[in-house]
Amino acid sequence: MKESFITTLSLGIGAAGPVVMQTQIKNVQFHPDNDIQMYGEINDLDRMNLELMIGIRFQNSQPIDIVTQVIFDLELYGRQSSSDSWSLVSSKSEHKRDIVCDRGVDCKKVYFVHEPFIEYSEYEFFLNVSGTQSLFDLAIFDYEFYNKNFTTFRLVFGYVFIMFSLSALFLWAHQTNGIYWKELSQEQKWQTILLFGIFFFNNPFFPTTALVKSSIPNFFELFFRGSFIILLFLFWLSVFDSFRFSRKEISFRWFYLPKIILLSLIFIIFFIMEIISISHLKTDPQYDEGKDLPAFKTLTIISDILLIIYLLWIFYTVYRAFREIKMFPQKKNGFLTFFLLSTIVFIITVSYLIAEFFNANQVTSLWFLLLFGPFNTYVYFLVYSFIPVKIEGIEKLENIDNESLSTSDNNQNENENDNENDNENENDNEIKLENENDNEIELDNINENDNLNENDNENENDD
């Protein structure tokens, strides 16, 4: 199958691609005290490294587990070259952080610098840590930034996906040219929306992330990616739920609006938290929405409840769809193919969201292609399945081999066929009545002629 080949090829290229993040490790020795002052620096960065994150891991030499809270106080400076003077990036700001250590091993890493845009090639910082209770005498700094080779890899394959999505979009526009929107099936209407969604999901503006000194490219990246995922969730919920209704019963107010409200709330909550985080990071590299945003736990609980509602809803609609499809065995194979592919993409989507929530670091380029490859392939498969075709100049709204999945279209077509048959029967009856009337008129004319002939014969006999 072409789609599976493309996905397999993408994953193979991703596995052999460059490492996503590079890490420099530096040990820092200090005298154990309740207040610790540390210094660090990093150089040879450029904008292709995209972001800089610095974390610290204290080493626990004690024979006990340690859980304590410390206060980080950071000053961060940057400059373009060694001949330039240092520019202040962030002034002192205090943030409380939890230090958790197992017995005799490194403590869990705590990030205290996150620069979403690399403005300088060199950075130095002064970090004051108070509240350590003289428990530590050694720490490890982890300097993490994006690999330049991966950034190039992301640019090249990102635009490959963009060219594919543009080609699919132009093909779809050509095939639907001249067809009214209301004449398209539900799947075909959704396909038009998803094609625009996957184009922006591939992010044609990604180069501005490295070129523009602004947070706007990051906003675009989050908005495009989040919007497409929400569109996919809405697409799956709408398609599977449509099996329970006829086309006339599907209205925007009662069918689509509740779904849109639910998913819009989820999108708004996540997007607001990311906007707050990016906005704070511009002036405070230590900011962490999970620890510094007071309403973070409340927003997380609300979003979790909304996601549970969505999952229960989608599971119910899938269950009902399987019950309805039994009445249409001619659509069973197409439905099962659509269901299996959708399930795979759904699992990938949920896994990505979980990884993002827990801030899981990307290791290889496989992460990138595992996300972009299946999403693009899935949309192109839908294009192939539902694209309108033209046969001998006649526009046909369904693909020859893959007709509309929704049974509501079948019900609508059956009703239309019944109406057509009724109209044909009515026309036949009218024609029969007309023929009978014509026959009666002909018989009357014949009788009149016979009567006239008889009268003429009688007159002749009288003469």
pLDDT, tens only, 60-85: 877 888 888 899 999 999 999 888 89
What is the CATH T-level fold of the domain 22-146, as seen in this structure? Jelly Rolls (2.60.120)
pLDDT at 42: 93
pLDDT at 61: 77
pLDDT, tens only, 330-384: 878 888 989 999 999 999 998 888 877 776 666 667 778 888 888 999 999 999 8
Rounded to two decimals, the pTM is: 0.79
Query: In the predicted model, is pLDDT for residue 249 greater than 60?
Result: yes
Q: Tell me if 22-146 shares its fold with 148-405.
A: no
Task: For the chain, give every domain's residue range.
Answer: 22-146, 148-405
> Using 50, 70 and 90 to split pLDDT, how confident is the model at 126?
very high
CB of 40 within 8 A of CB of 140? Answer: no
pLDDT, tens only, 256-275: 999 999 999 999 998 888 88
Average pLDDT over residues 94-118: 87
Query: In the predicted model, is pLDDT for residue 144 greater than 90?
Result: yes
Query: In the predicted model, is pLDDT for residue 392 greater than 60?
Result: no
Tell me if the domain spanning 148-405 has CATH number 2.60.40: no
Average pLDDT over residues 32-57: 87
Tell me the two tokens of residue 175. 């095939």
pLDDT, tens only, 187-209: 889 999 999 999 999 999 988 88
pLDDT at 342: 93
Q: Please indicate whether residue 432 or residue 246 has the higher confidence score (pLDDT).
A: 246
pLDDT at 446: 46
On average, the pLDDT of the chain sits at 80
DSSP for 156-199, written as a single string: HHHHHHHHHHHHHHHHHHHHTTT--GGGS-HHHHHHHHHHHHHH
> Using 50, 70 and 90 to split pLDDT, how confident is the model at 165?
very high
Query: In the predicted model, is pLDDT for residue 88 greater than 50?
Result: yes
Query: In the predicted model, is pLDDT for residue 238 greater than 80?
Result: yes
CB of 290 within 8 A of CB of 76? Answer: no
pLDDT at 400: 33
Tell me the two tokens of residue 390. 């033209």
Contacts of 192 (CB under 8 A, 6+ apart): 172, 176, 184
- Alpha-carbon distance of 189 to 195, in angstroms, equals 10
